[in-house]
């Protein structure tokens, strides 16, 4: 009688375990399905209607300067993005792999010449130019300036930018160097946060950077206009809320533009 009772208890325990297992698997499946939806909602859709989940890389743009059948993912893998917090956002929003982003919050082109911020997996920190010299990517996109316009003199700003471009060129002569225009700040930011960092000044420095690119044999990626409103300021949809840093939509627009206007 006792043995039958023990056997019954074991059967009941097995049944309870099986039921719990099935329920757990159902909950787990629902959890993953829910998070897939979250990922889709988080990244939304780009202007072509394709999910902008970066793990899919289906940007699907036909009108670009692609001389071959190279995908945009392959193009990005051969590109290093260099800059400040606005560039950091490329990997913080999971658009670009961290190993393709050499950037630091608050950095400018002068500090980038000396600050060791890049770890190529060895545990040893390198300057941006040193890391470029080791990796030798096909191209680099340099996006500095917003952390210098407010306090650097024009001569110092341009001199240090020129030196930084020379550092990159010497480190990797075969790499294509692309200077990206400084993006605007919001009207609120230039009025109430830091009037020294204003869009008229940014426009002036962008014209100087365009000339520098020509002098140095670099390409100039003029993206500032993509993010401006009718007041020549950072449009609200591209403003994360502080008037300076960029929203997810801004990075999507930038990558769409880069895909359609690839520089080789």
The pLDDT score that the predictor gives to residue 66 is 64
Residue at 64 is within a domain? no
Report the C-alpha gap between 184 and 246 in whole angstroms: 10
Average pLDDT in the 180-209 region?
Answer: 98
Residue at 50 is within a domain? no
User: How many structural domains is the chain composed of?
Assistant: 2
Sequence-distant contacts of 88-97: CB under 8 A, at least 24 apart: 89/245, 89/246, 89/251, 90/251, 93/248, 93/251, 94/54, 95/54, 95/251, 95/252, 95/255, 96/54
Residue at 61 is within a domain? no
The string of pLDDT tens digits covering residues 210-238 is 999 999 999 999 999 999 999 999 999 99
3-state class (DSSP) for residue 93: coil
- Higher-confidence residue of 11 and 195: namely 195
Report the C-alpha gap between 54 and 72 in whole angstroms: 11
The string of pLDDT tens digits covering residues 69-98 is 899 999 999 999 999 999 999 999 999 999
Residues 163 and 39 occupy one common structural domain: no
Average pLDDT in the 167-174 region?
Answer: 98
pTM of the model: 0.78
Residue at 255 is within a domain? yes
Residue at 58 is within a domain? no
Report the C-alpha gap between 161 and 142 in whole angstroms: 10
Residue at 160 is within a domain? yes
Strands 125-126 and 118-119 come out as: antiparallel
Residues 94 and 198 occupy one common structural domain: yes
Give, as one character, the DSSP assignment of residue 189.
I
Residue at 191 is within a domain? yes
How many CA within 13 A on the CB side of residue 179?
29
Name the CA radius of gyration of the chain, rounded.
25
Average pLDDT in the 145-162 region?
Answer: 97
Residue at 54 is within a domain? no
Phi, psi at 119, each rounded to 5°: -110, 115
Burial 115-142 (b: 16+ CB within 10 A, else e): eeebeeeeeeebbbbbbbbebebebbbb
Residues 130 and 205 occupy one common structural domain: yes
Residues 151 and 209 occupy one common structural domain: yes
Residues 19 and 148 occupy one common structural domain: no
The string of pLDDT tens digits covering residues 37-73 is 333 333 344 433 334 444 444 444 554 566 668 999 9
Whether residue 122 is predicted with pLDDT greater than 50 in this model: the reply is yes
- Higher-confidence residue of 254 and 41: namely 254
- CATH code of 88's domain: 3.40.50.1110
Whether residue 25 is predicted with pLDDT greater than 70 in this model: the reply is no
147 token code pair? 């952390």
The pLDDT score that the predictor gives to residue 55 is 41
Average pLDDT in the 237-264 region?
Answer: 97
Domain extent, residue 134, equals: 72-260
């Amino acid at each position: 009688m006792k043995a039958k009772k023990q056997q019954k208890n074991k059967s009941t325990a097995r049944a309870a375990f099986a039921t719990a297992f099935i329920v757990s698997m159902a909950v787990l499946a629902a959890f993953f399905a829910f998070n897939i939806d979250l990922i889709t909602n988080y990244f939304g859709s780009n202007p072509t209607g394709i999910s902008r989940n970066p793990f899919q890389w289906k940007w699907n743009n036909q009108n670009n300067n692609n001389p071959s059948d190279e995908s945009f993912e392959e193009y990005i893998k051969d590109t290093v993005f260099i800059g400040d917090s606005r560039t950091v956002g490329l990997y913080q929003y999971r658009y670009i792999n961290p190993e393709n982003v050499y950037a630091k919050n608050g950095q400018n082109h002068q500090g980038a010449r000396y600050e060791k911020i890049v770890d190529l997996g060895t545990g040893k920190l390198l300057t941006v130019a040193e890391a470029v010299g080791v990796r030798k990517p096909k191209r680099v996109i340099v996006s500095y300036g917003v952390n210098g316009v407010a306090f650097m003199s024009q001569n110092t700003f341009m001199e240090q930018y020129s030196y930084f471009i020379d550092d990159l060129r010497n480190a990797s002569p075969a790499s294509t160097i692309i200077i990206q225009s400084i993006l605007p700040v919001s009207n609120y930011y230039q009025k109430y946060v830091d009037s020294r960092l204003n869009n008229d000044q940014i426009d002036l420095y962008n014209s100087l950077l365009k000339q520098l690119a020509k002098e140095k044999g670099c390409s100039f990626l003029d993206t500032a206009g993509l993010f401006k409103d009718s007041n020549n300021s950072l449009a609200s949809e591209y403003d994360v809320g502080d008037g300076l840093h960029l929203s997810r939509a801004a990075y999507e627009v930038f990558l769409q533009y880069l895909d359609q206007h690839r520089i080789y």
